[in-house]
């Protein structure tokens, strides 16, 4: 098992994982998420992988992609309220359902953490859906704490 930057030949494996991510969200919130679908297509993934500001890390075993972590550099410069810090935002993290329990997620997160530390980021942030309690538990085990909470009220429509 090895963690490295994603390369174009990883795209098909990443696409399979993106469907798994979507289905977790679709099963939890079918009112919001279509299923099965992918957040990005192959052409979009090529651009993301090539951009230094959106690093994608993969955990591979041979040719198989066991997990991925999509990251985005974020920084508010000269904001009237926010301080000028560098944040590494985890846009998406997934472990193949067949590779769960092998510490793939933990290894990916530790790699992201070390990358952020080496690059001088102030913090790591991400969003997690409440319909995915397993992810919430995982991130808490990695040491993340809630930063802010999004709330909603679904409007009932008259039939």
pLDDT score, position 159: 63
| Helix residue ranges per DSSP H, the chain | 11-28, 42-50, 104-118, 133-141
Looking at the domain assignment, is residue 68 inside a domain? Answer: yes
CATH number of the domain encompassing residue 120: 3.40.630.30
- List, edge to edge, every strand of the sheet that includes 2-5: 2-5, 56-61, 64-75, 86-95, 123-126
Looking at the domain assignment, is residue 33 inside a domain? Answer: yes
Cα 76–141–63 angle (5° rounding)? 85
Looking at the domain assignment, is residue 154 inside a domain? Answer: no
pLDDT score, position 158: 80
pLDDT score, position 124: 98
pLDDT score, position 157: 87
DSSP 62-104: TTEEEEEEEEEEEE--S-SSS---EEEEEEEEEE-GGGTTSSH
Q: The pTM is what?
A: 0.94
Q: Produce one character per residue of 130-152: b if its CB has 16 or more CB atoms within 10 Å, e if not.
A: ebbeebeebbeeeebeeeeeeee
Looking at the domain assignment, is residue 90 inside a domain? Answer: yes
Residues of the chain with pLDDT under 70: 159
Dist. CA 122–CA 138, nearest whole Å: 21
Q: Is 91 in contact with 21 (CB distance < 8 Å)?
A: no
pLDDT score, position 153: 95
Print the domain residue range for 98: 2-141
Looking at the domain assignment, is residue 152 inside a domain? Answer: no
Looking at the domain assignment, is residue 150 inside a domain? Answer: no
In degrees and rounded to multiples of 5, residue 58 shows phi and psi of -125, 150
Tally of domains within the chain: 1
Looking at the domain assignment, is residue 40 inside a domain? Answer: yes
Residues facing 75 on adjacent strands: 86
């Amino acid at each position: 098992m090895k963690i490295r930057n994603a390369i174009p030949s990883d795209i098909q494996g990443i696409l399979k994982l993106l469907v798994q991510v979507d289905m977790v969200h679709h099963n939890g919130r079918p009112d919001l998420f279509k299923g099965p679908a992918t957040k990005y297509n192959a052409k979009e993934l090529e651009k993301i992988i090539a951009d230094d500001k959106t690093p994608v890390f993969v955990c591979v075993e041979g040719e198989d992609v066991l997990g991925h972590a999509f990251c985005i550099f974020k920084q508010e410069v000269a904001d009237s309220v926010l301080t000028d810090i560098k944040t590494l935002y985890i846009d998406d993290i997934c472990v193949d359902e067949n590779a769960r329990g092998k510490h793939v997620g933990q290894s990916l997160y530790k790699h992201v953490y070390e990358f952020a530390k080496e690059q001088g980021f102030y913090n790591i942030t991400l969003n997690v859906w409440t319909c995915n309690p397993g992810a919430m538990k995982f991130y808490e085990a990695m040491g993340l704490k809630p930063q802010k909470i999004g709330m909603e009220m679904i409007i009932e429509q008259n039939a």
